[in-house]
Structure 1
Amino acid sequence: MTNNRPRICLVTPGLLPVPATQGGAIETLMTSLIEENELHNRLELTVVTTFDGTSRNLTGHIRNTRFIWVPRASSWYKAAFRLVRGIRRRIFHSESQLPGTYYAKALQALKGHDFDAVIMEGGPVDAPTAFIRRFGNRLWYHLHFTPENDFTSRGYSTVLSVSDFASKAWIQHCSGSSPTVITVRNGIDTSKFTKTISSAERNRIRQSLGFSPDDFVIMYCGRIIPVKGVLELLHAVERISDPNIKLLIVGSSNFGPSERTDYTDAVTAAISRLGRRVAATGFVPNDQVYRYSHIADAQVVPSLWEESAGLVGVEGMAAGLPLIVTHSGGLTEYVPQECSIVVERGEHMIASLAKAIMTLYHDAALRDRMAQEGPRHAAMYSTGRMYGRFVDVCRANI
Structure 2
Amino acid sequence: MNIAIFIADSNGAFPVPAVKGGAVATLVEHLVKEGNKDNDNKLTIFSYYDKNAFNISKKYSNTEFIWIKRPMIIKAFDRILFKGIQVLRKNKKSISYATVFSLCWYILKCSIHLRKNIYDKVILENNIPIAWIIKLSRYTGDYYYHFHNVPRINAKCKDVFAKCKGMLCVSKFVASQIKSKENAIGPVRKEQIKILYNCIDTEIFKIKNYDKCKKQIVEKYHLPVNKKIIVYVGRLSKEKGIDVLLQACKKLDREDYIVLIVGSFIQGVKAKDSYEDELLKLANDLKEKVYFTGYVNQEDLPTIYAGSDVVVLPSMWDEPAGLTMVEAICCGANLITTKSGGIPEYITNDDAILLERNTIDRYMTFYVDQILTQCRHSKKNVDICNDKFSTMNYYREFISILNE
Q: TM-score, normalised by structure 1?
A: 0.85
Report the CA distance between 1:339 and its aligned residue. 1.2
Distance in 2 separating the partners of 1:188 and 1:333: 15
Change in Cα spacing, 1:120 to 1:307, as seen in structure 2 (3 Å) is same
SS of the residue 1:372 aligns to: coil
Bigger CA drift: 179-188 or 374-383? 374-383
**Alignment match, 1:388:** 396
**Alignment match, 1:64:** 62
Distance in 1 separating the partners of 2:304 and 2:133: 46
**Structure 1: 5+ residue stretches without partners:** 1-5, 80-98
Bigger CA drift: 225-234 or 122-131? 122-131
Distance in 1 separating the partners of 2:398 and 2:252: 44
Distance in 2 separating the partners of 1:314 and 1:202: 20
Distance in 2 separating the partners of 1:305 and 1:125: 23
Q: 2:165 aligns with which of 143, 157, 160?
A: 157
Q: 2:48 aligns with which of 47, 50, 53?
A: 50
Q: 2:105 aligns with which of 88, 101, 105?
A: 101
CA contact (8 A) 1:338 1:373 kept: no
Bigger CA drift: 265-274 or 252-261? 252-261
Report the CA distance between 1:111 and its aligned residue. 3.9
Q: How many residues align?
A: 368
Deviations 1:231-287 (A, max 9, x none): 111111111121113211111111344521111111122122212222221100111
Q: How does 1:231-270 map to 2 (within 5 A)?
A: 231-270=243-282
**Alignment match, 1:13:** 8
**Alignment match, 1:118:** 122
Q: In the alignment, does 2:359 pair up with 1:355?
A: no
Distance in 1 separating the partners of 2:315 and 2:17: 27
Distance in 1 separating the partners of 2:123 and 2:8: 11
**Alignment match, 1:340:** 352
Change in Cα spacing, 1:60 to 1:133, as seen in structure 2 (3 Å) is closer
One-letter identity of the residue aligned with 1:108: I
**Alignment match, 2:87:** none
Counting aligned pairs with the same residue, the percent is 26
Bigger CA drift: 119-128 or 20-29? 119-128
Change in Cα spacing, 1:293 to 1:44, as seen in structure 2 (3 Å) is same
Distance in 1 separating the partners of 2:242 and 2:174: 23
One-letter identity of the residue aligned with 1:12: I
Distance in 2 separating the partners of 1:199 and 1:159: 44
Q: 1:304 aligns with which of 313, 316, 320?
A: 316
Bigger CA drift: 234-243 or 189-198? 189-198
Deviations 1:282-309 (A, max 9, x none): 1001111112112201211111111111
Change in Cα spacing, 1:293 to 1:258, as seen in structure 2 (3 Å) is farther
Distance in 2 separating the partners of 1:326 and 1:121: 26
Q: 2:301 aligns with which of 289, 306, 314?
A: 289
Report the CA distance between 1:69 and its aligned residue. 0.6
One-letter identity of the residue aligned with 1:8: I
Q: In the alignment, does 2:372 pair up with 1:372?
A: no
Distance in 2 separating the partners of 1:317 and 1:190: 11
Distance in 2 separating the partners of 1:185 and 1:42: 23
Change in Cα spacing, 1:194 to 1:129, as seen in structure 2 (3 Å) is closer
Change in Cα spacing, 1:195 to 1:125, as seen in structure 2 (3 Å) is same
**Alignment match, 1:87:** none
Bigger CA drift: 305-314 or 10-19? 10-19
**Alignment match, 2:328:** 316
Q: In the alignment, does 2:191 pair up with 1:183?
A: no
CA contact (8 A) 1:258 1:282 kept: no
One-letter identity of the residue aligned with 2:367: A
One-letter identity of the residue aligned with 1:110: L
Distance in 1 separating the partners of 2:165 and 2:107: 19
Deviations 1:302-351 (A, max 9, x none): 111111111101100111011101111111210111111111113x4233
SS of the residue 2:117 aligns to: coil
CA contact (8 A) 1:187 1:311 kept: yes
Report the CA distance between 1:177 and its aligned residue. 5.7
SS of the residue 1:62 aligns to: coil
CA contact (8 A) 1:146 1:307 kept: no
SS of the residue 1:217 aligns to: strand
One-letter identity of the residue aligned with 1:274: L
Distance in 2 separating the partners of 1:130 and 1:45: 18
Q: Which runs of 4+ in 1 moved over 6 A?
A: 76-79, 148-152
Change in Cα spacing, 1:129 to 1:208, as seen in structure 2 (3 Å) is closer
Distance in 1 separating the partners of 2:391 and 2:235: 22
SS of the residue 2:194 aligns to: strand
